[in-house]
């Protein structure tokens, strides 16, 4: 009889220990988003694991700054406010609908171009979604800092990135002028060099009229002269 009375207590104790072990095994995730740099750094237990470019809110749709906790996750979400725009792998962190999600507008990643959400490249959004789902939203914290960069700051940043892409030495002077970009001549255009200058020209077709006897119709045919 005593053993039967102790069985529920023993089962409850085992369940509590199992839950404690599971919670202890989960890692703490911090998603730091710098709006000034348009960059996200994901740390797991204090160790940086991912560094990704993002796209935060534009000037009229600034993404709120502060610390947030995610409360909802949707693998396939469509925005009701913006014409059912796809928001794959959404991680919502405000009641106003702000979320971290993937975006097909990959060319805008790295610049403030969203309506307030934090956009990621689709593959990176999938990786982050799986990580948060595995470790739990309760163990995840989202930190947003910085301000929206101005247009001249974005242009200067792109120039620095372009200069660094041609630098093979880490200690090289990135302020030096990068090598000139070679332009490919389009189909139909020809290159003509006159001393130190290079010109591109394209031959225009000359048309002559060919008559069809009996009908009186004329049809122009192109003739490319040499």
- Reported as a pLDDT band with limits 50, 70 and 90, residue 224 is very low
- Reported as a pLDDT band with limits 50, 70 and 90, residue 60 is confident
Q: What is residue 79's predicted lDDT score, i.e. its pLDDT?
A: 85
Spatial distance between the Cα atoms of 94 and 163, rounded to a whole number of angstroms: 39
186-209 burial, b for 16+ CB within 10 Å, e for fewer? eeeeeeeeeeeeeeeeeeeeeeee
Residue 133's Cβ-count burial label (10 Å; 0-12, 13-18, 19+) is middle
Query: Between residues 18 and 127, which one has the greater pLDDT?
Result: 127
The answer to whether residue 78 scores a pLDDT higher than 80 is yes
Which DSSP helix (H) or strand (E) runs through 108?
A: none
Segment 186-196 mean pLDDT:
54
**Domains and their CATH numbers in the chain:** 26-149 (2.40.440.10), 189-223 (no CATH)
Please, what is the average pLDDT of the chain? Answer: 76
Which DSSP helix (H) or strand (E) runs through 25?
A: helix 2-25
Q: What is residue 27's predicted lDDT score, i.e. its pLDDT?
A: 83
Please, are residues 51 and 163 in contact by the beta-carbon 8 Å criterion? no
Please write the tens of the pLDDT for every residue from 193-202: 555 555 555 5
Spatial distance between the Cα atoms of 133 and 215, rounded to a whole number of angstroms: 76
Segment 123-138 mean pLDDT:
96
Q: What is residue 84's predicted lDDT score, i.e. its pLDDT?
A: 77
Q: What is residue 120's predicted lDDT score, i.e. its pLDDT?
A: 97
Q: What is residue 205's predicted lDDT score, i.e. its pLDDT?
A: 59
Segment 34-43 mean pLDDT:
96
């Amino acid at each position: 009889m005593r053993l039967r009375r102790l069985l529920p207590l023993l089962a409850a104790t085992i369940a509590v220990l199992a839950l404690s072990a599971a919670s202890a095994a989960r890692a703490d995730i911090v998603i730091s988003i710098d709006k000034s740099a348009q960059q996200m750094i994901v740390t797991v237990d204090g160790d940086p694991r991912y560094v990704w470019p993002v796209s935060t809110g534009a000037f009229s749709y600034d993404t709120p700054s502060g610390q947030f906790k995610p409360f909802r996750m949707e693998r396939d979400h469509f925005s009701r406010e913006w014409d059912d725009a796809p928001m794959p792998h959404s991680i919502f962190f405000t009641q106003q609908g702000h979320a971290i999600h993937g975006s097909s507008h990959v060319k805008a990643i790295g610049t403030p171009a969203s309506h307030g959400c934090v956009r990621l490249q689709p593959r990176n959004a999938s990786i982050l979604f799986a990580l948060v789902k595995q470790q739990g939203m309760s163990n995840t914290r989202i930190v947003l800092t910085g301000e929206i960069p101005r247009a001249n700051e974005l242009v200067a940043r792109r120039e620095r990135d372009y200069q660094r892409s041609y630098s093979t030495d880490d200690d090289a002077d990135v302020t030096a002028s990068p090598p000139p970009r070679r332009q490919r001549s389009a189909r139909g255009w020809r290159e003509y060099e006159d001393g130190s200058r290079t010109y591109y020209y394209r031959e225009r077709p000359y048309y002559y009229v060919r008559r069809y006897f009996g009908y009186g119709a004329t049809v122009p045919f192109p003739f490319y002269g040499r």
